[in-house]
Amino acid sequence: MQEKYIDETKQGEAFAIAERPENSKKLFLESYGCQMNFSDSEIVASILNEQGYNTTMKVEEADLILLNTCSIREKAEQTVRMRLSQFKNLKKEKPNMTVGVLGCMAERLKTKFLEEEQLVDLVVGPDAYRDLPNLLKETDDGRDAINVILSKEETYADINPVRLGGNGVTAFVTITRGCDNMCTFCVVPFTRGRERSRDPHSIIDECKDLANSGYKEITLLGQNVDSYLWYGGGPKKDFAKASEMQKATAVNFAQLLDLVAKAIPEMRIRFSTSNPQDMSLDVFRMMAKHDNICKYVHLPVQSGSNNMLEAMNRQHTREEYLELIRKAKEIVPEVAFSQDMIVGFCNETEEDHQDTLSLMKEVEYDYGYMFAYSERPGTPAHKKMEDNIPADVKQRRLAEVIALQGELSRKRMVSYVGRVHQILIEGISKKNKNQWKGRNSQNAVCVFDKLEGQKIGDIVDVFVYDNTQGTLLGRITE
């Protein structure tokens, strides 16, 4: 479980599913960025599967190329633009081929895409995927098509996502869309719109369907799962206007966890992403109550400095965050945490940076996602603050954060040695085909020798006898 430093130049991932013999057209669908984007791609594939498209891994045979994009950092957008440039020759060879951009980058740049990227025919925002069949008719008639309207209602609750790629063992289930937090550095509220929650009955139905299909673990997914609140539909911000009956029967995230855990007792449950100001101790109490809820929380903090947290509009203080961690560990002693951290935000001082390092030491994160701040057009920070930390200072501070997380990760990995862990077998080790790989409840990766009789999807007891920096080494107990 080594520290995570995201390579934003990485090419997206393309997946394909079993073909429908009656479908005659080919879709090449590539996803970038967060888990929400990959989950959205499954919704898109499901919609287009009904429109006569089979997915393909070969871009040269595609009738339709779609890139589901990320706008969280500048490098992510540069990667997509570079990828689009690779399609220019293919477009000349196949002039009837349609190229489209989906997701957050589509929403942020809108018509600029059609103007700047001459080969793009289709621009579709995260709330407009139902409109894809109509938009494709527009492109078939030779017109560019765009729909980036953000919705206050859309959750795609009635669409059964096609499962792209994957291992047939773990799956994502989206429970919220959008975000209301308005962190000053973040573009997500502007690209994904207002926060709204999905009907809990549809969530439970999807989880049961996955269980019946042989899946063994689900991750409840959203930009901010802790603020899940179902009161009959609509944005969370309008909950104050709900009727007394709606308020009395509303379902929050802790209650949803309880419902899901009871509905699929044989499946493991994870969730991501959490936000400190919305995280309730009731969530940890549910984690303690149900064995099938994994003892791991991704809890982004972004900085250990109150000055920076205020400038970022994070809506929690350093002290409140540390108190939440302390109480959580009292309720669930074996819980593991990971972090998101931004270094070099506007006006960050050396003292602010040291506050980040000291908070990391106090929490003892298992791992983290760490970045140097990059200004995003349209955000409050871009409009009102100066990106005034020199690049070399950002890189030095980032290196120090990464190095410290490496030490903390190694320490946490050592703490798992000498114990028996329940490991869900997710696949074969990349380094040794005679070994299985899987994760424990705390999300630590473990490899161990295959024994006769096991298969992918089994949960087995594994004694961990050693570790590397990022992996537990174990053997199955008799």
Query: CB–CB of 104/72 below 8 Å?
Result: yes
Q: What is the DSSP letter of 244?
A: H
Q: Which of 419, 452, 420, 422 is nearest to 434 (CA)?
A: 452
DSSP string of 68-101, one letter each residue: EE--SSHHHHHHHHHHHHTTHHHHHH-TT-EEEE
Q: Any known ligand binding at 346?
A: no
User: What is the SS3 assignment for 453?
Assistant: coil
Q: Any known ligand binding at 294?
A: no
> Tokens at residue 270, please?
């994870």
Strand pairing report for 420-428 and 98-103: unpaired
Give Rg (Cα) of the chain: 23
> Tokens at residue 5, please?
């430093």
The Cα–Cα gap between 138 and 144 comes to 7
The per-residue b/e assignment along 394-403, b for 16 or more CB within 10 angstroms, e otherwise, is beebbeebbe
The Cα–Cα gap between 332 and 341 comes to 24
The Cα–Cα gap between 177 and 186 comes to 15
Beta-bridge partner residues of 12: none
Q: What is the DSSP letter of 225?
A: G
Instruction: At 99, give phi and psi (nearest 5°).
Output: -120, 125
Which residues have CB under 8 Å from 342's CB, separation 6+?
A: 185, 302, 303, 312, 371, 372, 373
Q: Any known ligand binding at 446?
A: no
At position 105, the amino acid (one-letter code) is: M
Taking 3-state DSSP, the helix, strand and coil percentages for the chain, each rounded to the nearest 5, stand at 35, 20, 40
Helices 350-363 and 391-415 pack at an angle, to 10 degrees, of 10
Query: CB–CB of 428/443 below 8 Å?
Result: no
Query: CB–CB of 413/1 below 8 Å?
Result: yes
> Tokens at residue 11, please?
């090419």
The Cα–Cα gap between 283 and 273 comes to 13
User: What is the SS3 assignment for 405?
Assistant: helix
In the annotated binding site for [4Fe-4S] cluster, the residues are 34, 70, 104, 179, 183, 186
In the annotated binding site, the residues are 34, 70, 104, 179, 183, 186
